Amino acid sequence: MSLPPDYPERVYAGVLGKIIGVYLGRPFEGWSYERITAELGEVWYYVHERLGKPLIVTDDDIAGTFTFLRALEDYGYPRDLTAAQIGQTWLNYLIDRRTVLWWGGLGNSTEHTAYLRLKRGIPAPRSGSMALNGRVVAEQIGAQIFIDGWAMVAPGDPELAADLARRAASVSHDGEAIYGAQVIAAMEALAFVESDIDTLLDTGLSLIPRDSIIARLINDLRSWHACEPDWRRARELLAAHYGYDKYGGNCHIVPNHGLIILALLYGGGDFQRSLMIVNTCGWDTDCNSGNLGCLLGIRNGLAGLDAGPDWRTPVADRLYLSTADGGRAITDAVTEAYRIVNAGRALAGLEPVAPKGGVRFHFELPGSVHGFRPEDSPECHGTVALENVPGHSRLGSRALALRYRHLAPGRVARVGTSTFIPREATDLGHYELMASPTLYPGQTVRAHLEADPGNAHAVACRLYLRIYGGEDRLALVRGPELTLAPGSEAELVWRVPPMDGAPIAEVGLELAGEHGAAGAVYLDYLTWEGAPDVTFTRPAGGGSMWSRAWVNGVDQCSPRAPEPFRLVQNEGRGLLITGTREWTDYEVTADVTPHMVRAAGIAARVQGMARYYALLLIEGRARLVKALDGETVLAEADLPWQLGETHVLGLRVRGSRIEASVDGRTLFEVEDLDRPLHSGGIALVCEEGRTATQAVTVRPVRSNLGHVM
């Protein structure tokens, strides 16, 4: 598999097309065609403001697409990745009744049904099979809506894309649902190298059974399109022959697949017109619009997205992935695009790419902003505009221009991006946003800046943070100031200070200058690195956002409990997780008071609900375990402990070595050379009962774990 020369840009356009399509169709999901036309008319642009809804939302279409694809990364990018491995990925990243899916119940929600099968030990593909779940459940739309990533890792290779799509879809679906997913995946993969719509459709059809309903549906639509110029009349024919009244369940794939093909044909490949048709037609608007948006994003590239109205500025690359790996929840289209690109490169036998040496925000793709937006507060309103521009970079080819004006005493310019749940996303309704911050005290933030040589005056620059302080009020924390003369460049460096338990919600850049100052500063990159140096506990100012900084994978954990962390798990093992996948070598310590509980402890290098190292107090013993496709006991020893006693547990992870201690005494030193976990966050662990913790500390690795405690 050879990769197209513009592969990163085309993947980025596909990711943007996906999320734009979802955001466009989500506010009126479930409306009938008649209601849409009566209340909205033809849907040519975002309508969220008219309906009083947010634009950037959590959504199963987005979360499932970019989460289940992680199976490739987690299993080392094998071309023969199995359905069973993708099923294990479901178990790792999903939290029962909380993340990613519509949790509609056994036999009602296809994905929830499959998850329950997996959880009860039934592996994929049997978990999604028609034989086990029945035809109606197995042939709903979910196989199709999650499929785009599997196409984007196989550019120009529709056979591989369709095969990956089959394996991924079979975790939860069967029959026509798999065929529909394969058609979409094949067309998207081929769209990297082929723009002709008939060729895309022919290729998709060649990879599914000729006698399938999906094949017959596509052929009928092509026939109608050949003799009927009006898409509205074609929609009537589709509804009459393949409508919801013909196919059972909550959201069957056949009618909705038909709308994607209809809009593709009648839209003629134009991004705006095609999305107008598919959204105005109704049924599952966000799903259909997301798939079609991704296909046309890949086919048309960034130029196709930019040819019509401004789709990109309101979105600003933002997307949320609410999973058990909370440090990857607050993300953006550029970051997700490069994860897909590197998966595709791995499948092609190529090394990964890391723009500008692997910095977090690099702005290397045209128009990219990584979620950065101007602040619109009274002191900042109208003082800055953003533009992604060529040049002005030491290590790359592009930068983010901050074009400021009207600076004066009391008037500054700020641009920032979220590092945790933003204020407008604290209550998104149907799909809860579970997340951990991406930035923590003790880490070092770096930003490289260049002042335009045409600036009339020097400009003062500083990094800033916003934190959720007392009573969850957002508070501004400024870093050290640096003055840039016209034409000069410099790197701002700031080690994040302690925040007394308050989570960091935003990072950004503040500019200040003389009265009426105007000009431009170019942000080449902004990044951070290093292990955190932080203690987690209930802040003195109260509130609840400090508690929401932990991804809740236990049955109960209330911020109003007497202890800052009281975990209750009714059955099985639960985790309360924070931190990010970027953490590698560090030490974590916590006091643990087991009450009526089977096991309690702490975990390190946590990558979800089923990938971590844990030190547990269990049945009169201390046990060091590794969770990865099951559980392995790495070491254990007798350790009499009593319910109600408090013990200080510690884990130090460095390279492939794991050290564990209880009450300052090192118990275990092991080296894991069998598929070791190299990075991840931390967790408190509770198994069948109740446990409590007052504080958790994470620090860089020191010479002796006992001294840390």
Q: For 107-125, write each residue's pLDDT tens digit.
A: 999 999 999 999 999 999 9
Q: CB of 625 within 8 A of CB of 631?
A: yes
CATH number of 358-529: 2.60.120.260
pLDDT score of 702:
77
What would the mean pLDDT of 603-620 be, rounded to a whole number? 97
Q: Closest by alpha carbon to 89, among 126, 141, 124?
A: 124
Q: At a CB cut-off of 8 Å and minimum separation 6, what does 356 contact?
A: 362, 364, 393, 395, 396, 524, 525
Q: Give me 550's structure tokens.
A: 């932990």
What would the mean pLDDT of 29-48 be, rounded to a whole number? 97
pLDDT value at 327 more than 60: yes
What would the mean pLDDT of 628-649 be, rounded to a whole number? 96
pLDDT value at 706 more than 60: no
What would the mean pLDDT of 613-617 be, rounded to a whole number? 98
- Please state whether beta strands 384-390 and 398-407 pair in parallel, antiparallel, or not at all (unpaired): antiparallel
pLDDT score of 560:
87
Q: CB of 424 within 8 A of CB of 458?
A: no
The residue ranges of DSSP E strands in 159-264, in sequence order, are none
CA 390/CA 385 separation, integer angstroms: 16
Tell me the per-residue pLDDT of 260-278, one tens digit each, with 9 for 90 and over.
999 999 999 999 999 999 9
Tell me the per-residue pLDDT of 616-634, one tens digit each, with 9 for 90 and over.
999 999 999 999 999 999 9
Residue type present at position 277: I
Tell me the per-residue pLDDT of 465-480, one tens digit each, with 9 for 90 and over.
999 999 999 999 999 9
Fold classification of 550-708 (topology level): Jelly Rolls (2.60.120)
For residue 422, give Cα distances in angstroms to 15, 329, 417, 497, 547: 22, 12, 9, 21, 15
Tell me the per-residue pLDDT of 273-302, one tens digit each, with 9 for 90 and over.
999 999 999 999 999 999 999 999 999 999
CATH number of 7-320: 1.10.4080.10
pLDDT value at 709 more than 90: no
For residue 1, give Cα distances in angstroms to 160, 344, 373: 9, 9, 38
CATH 2.60.120.560 boundaries in the chain: 550-708
Per the model's pLDDT, the better-predicted residue between 2 and 684 turns out to be 684
The answer to pTM > 0.75 is: yes
What would the mean pLDDT of 312-333 be, rounded to a whole number? 98
Q: How would residue 528 be classed by pLDDT, with cut points 50, 70 and 90?
A: very high
- Cβ neighbours of 481 (radius 10 Å): 12
Percent of the chain with pLDDT over 90: 96
Q: How would residue 175 be classed by pLDDT, with cut points 50, 70 and 90?
A: very high
Residue 492 pairs in a beta bridge with 447
pLDDT score of 704:
52
Three-class SS of residue 404? strand
Instruction: Give me the residue label for tokens 């080296």.
Output: 671
CA 369/CA 684 separation, integer angstroms: 35
- How would you class 483 by CB atoms within 10 Å of its CB: exposed for 0-12, middle for 13-18, buried for 19 or more? middle
Average pLDDT, rounded, for the chain: 96
Tell me the per-residue pLDDT of 223-267, one tens digit each, with 9 for 90 and over.
999 999 999 999 999 999 999 999 999 999 999 999 999 999 999
Q: Please list, residue by residue across 52-89, b when 16 or more beta carbons sit within 10 angstroms of its beta carbon and e when fewer do.
A: eebbbbbbbbbbbbbbbbbbbebbebeeebbbbbbbbb
pLDDT value at 154 more than 50: yes
CATH 1.10.4080.10 boundaries in the chain: 7-320
pLDDT score of 516:
85
**Would residue 423 be called left, alpha or beta, if left means φ above 0 and alpha means ψ between -120 and 50 degrees?**
alpha
Q: DSSP labels for 274-343?
A: HHHHHHHT-SSHHHHHHHHHHHHHHHHHHHHHHTSS--HHHHTTEEE--SS-GGGSEEEHHHHHHHHHHH
Q: At a CB cut-off of 8 Å and minimum separation 6, what does 691 contact?
A: 566, 567, 592, 593, 594, 595, 597, 600, 684
Three-class SS of residue 66? helix
Three-class SS of residue 102? coil
Q: CB of 148 within 8 A of CB of 18?
A: yes
Largest CA distance in the chain: 81
Percent of the chain with pLDDT over 70: 99
pLDDT score of 703:
56
Instruction: Give me the residue label for tokens 């009927």.
Output: 228
pLDDT score of 468:
97
Per the model's pLDDT, the better-predicted residue between 525 and 429 turns out to be 525
What would the mean pLDDT of 292-316 be, rounded to a whole number? 98
CATH 2.60.120.260 boundaries in the chain: 358-529
**Would residue 376 be called left, alpha or beta, if left means φ above 0 and alpha means ψ between -120 and 50 degrees?**
alpha
